Amino acid sequence: MNLTYGPEYEAFRAELQEFLRGWPLQGDEAKLPRNEQERLFRKRGIEAGYVYRSIPAEYGGAGRQSDPLYDRIIQEEYARTGAPGNRLNQGPGLLVPTLLDFGTEEQKRRFIPPTLAGEMQWCQGYSEPGSGSDLASLQTSARLDGDHWVINGQKIWTSNAREAHYMFGLFRTEPDAGKHAGISYLLVPMDAEGIDVRPLKQMTGSEEFNEVFFNDVHTPADHILGKRGEGWTISRATLRHERNLIGNPALMRQQFEMMLAIARRTERGGRPAIEEPGIRDRIAEVEGFVRCVETTNLRMLSAESRGEAMQVMLPMMMIKLYSTQVMERVASLAYDLLGGDGLLAPIVENDSIYDGSGTLRGGVHNFLYSMGPSIAGGASNIQRNIIGERGLGLPRDLRPSGG
């Protein structure tokens, strides 16, 4: 199997590496606040055609031809240098591709440019108490009253709800319709009267998750993606993008490199732990899994570039399940390397997610956080059902009546 990209793509990589030598910024630009530096370099990346590459220019992207192999090289090089590239949070990573597929022209022009620029933050309103894995059972209602939807109910596990300007979410608009047919996909301003956001403390020390309560909350009638009752179909498109983000091999490689840094720095018997045969065996085993994910991802990209994506549907279904398991293995090995020192890691309030550093705190944080992605975007048991039913053609799992 030839895993090289070929001369055309390696020339593109060299061109990109030259561009990335501009990060970190130098001179007076290095004195700007960090977020201003990132905004400035991201803007240069768009102008050069590397950031938001395939999003049309009229919506704030680079407007270049989509090519999955170029995209993969860009991911690799940006991850390697730590330069600010595509934001992979809920707005640019999940909502923007969904808007491109289902939004009206007015919605695209209004919401996509400020989202890409980082001026408009989003949260995802899917899960509810009692409606996690069985998402279609959600009960939060939206009733059309004149030129507004009136929303009542509760969402939970809503990431970054306190910082968000808008929520994209699922709401029951057709109470008399079937379970899946009665749902619509709405956009809701988070500063609307009647919204109450309450943070949930996580074991990492952060408060990324929140409960969101709706009490007669109004959002404009035209803040709906698709038609009434089409929300379930649209949500599956968003979930597909979410699973691709969670299974991102560049992120996995970044965490593996962090674990290696800990193995080189940690001493066992007066020698770096990475020189210990038992540790080397474990590292080799884990890297084997990492490379399996990377190779599978390359197979998918190659098939997509040839227009043969349907031939790799089964690996595409498996990549999220498998990659989250591998990331847990990587984080667990890093945590074992820290040993008793892990108990000395400082407790940090409002810790940020994905601390990719090889520090003591970063290693402990990543270990604790590694248990979450197997639940996000469809828990592993749900993924196994999807693989079995849609990928292998097995009989449907038993479901409660009405499912």
The listed range with the strongest mean pLDDT (51-60, 254-263, 289-298, 383-392) is 51-60
Confidence of residue 53 (pLDDT cuts 50, 70, 90): very high
Average pLDDT, the chain: 88
Omega prior to 272 cis, within 30 of 0: no
Q: What separation in angstroms does the CA of 288 have from each of 169, 284, 312, 316?
A: 38, 6, 21, 19
Own/partner long-range contacts of 293-302 (Cβ < 8 Å, ≥24 apart): 293/247, 293/249, 293/252, 293/319, 293/322, 293/323, 293/326, 294/249, 294/252, 294/253, 295/1, 295/3, 296/322, 297/72, 297/247, 297/249, 298/3, 298/72, 300/68, 301/68, 301/69, 301/71, 301/72, 302/69
242 among known catalytic residues: yes
Please tell me the distance from the alpha carbon of residue 317 to that of residue 239, in angstroms, as a whole number: 12
pLDDT at 353: 45
Question: Mind listing the pLDDT tens digit for each residue in 58-72?
Answer: 999 999 987 878 888
pLDDT at 167: 98
Q: Which of 208, 242, 276, 294 is catalytic?
A: 242
Please tell me the distance from the alpha carbon of residue 87 to that of residue 68, in angstroms, as a whole number: 17
% of the chain beyond a pLDDT of 70: 95
The arithmetic mean of pLDDT across residues 122-137, rounded, is 89
- Better pLDDT: 254 or 36: 36
Q: Exposed, middle or buried: residue 217 (CB in 10 Å: 0-12, 13-18, 19+)?
A: buried
pLDDT at 2: 64
Residue 390's contacts (CB-CB under 8 Å, 6 or more residues apart) are 317
Question: Mind listing the pLDDT tens digit for each residue in 308-350?
Answer: 777 777 887 788 888 899 999 999 999 999 888 877 776 665 5
Output phi, psi for 135, to 5 deg: -60, -35
Confidence of residue 403 (pLDDT cuts 50, 70, 90): very low
Say yes or no to pLDDT of 390 above 80.
Answer: yes
The listed range with the strongest mean pLDDT (211-225, 233-247, 255-269, 317-331) is 211-225
pLDDT at 354: 46
pLDDT at 348: 63
Distance of CA 231 to the CA centre of its chain: 20
Least reliable range by pLDDT among 46-55, 85-94, 201-210, 393-402: 393-402
Please tell me the distance from the alpha carbon of residue 5 to that of residue 42, in angstroms, as a whole number: 25
Question: To 10 degrees, the CA torsion angle through 298, 300, 302, 303?
Answer: 160
pLDDT at 225: 97
% of the chain beyond a pLDDT of 90: 54
Residue 205's contacts (CB-CB under 8 Å, 6 or more residues apart) are 347, 348, 349, 350, 351, 365
User: Whose CA is closest to 242, among 100, 67, 56, 95?
Assistant: 95
Say yes or no to pLDDT of 18 above 60.
Answer: yes
CB 337 within 8 A of CB 263: yes
CB 333 within 8 A of CB 286: yes
Q: Exposed, middle or buried: residue 105 (CB in 10 Å: 0-12, 13-18, 19+)?
A: exposed
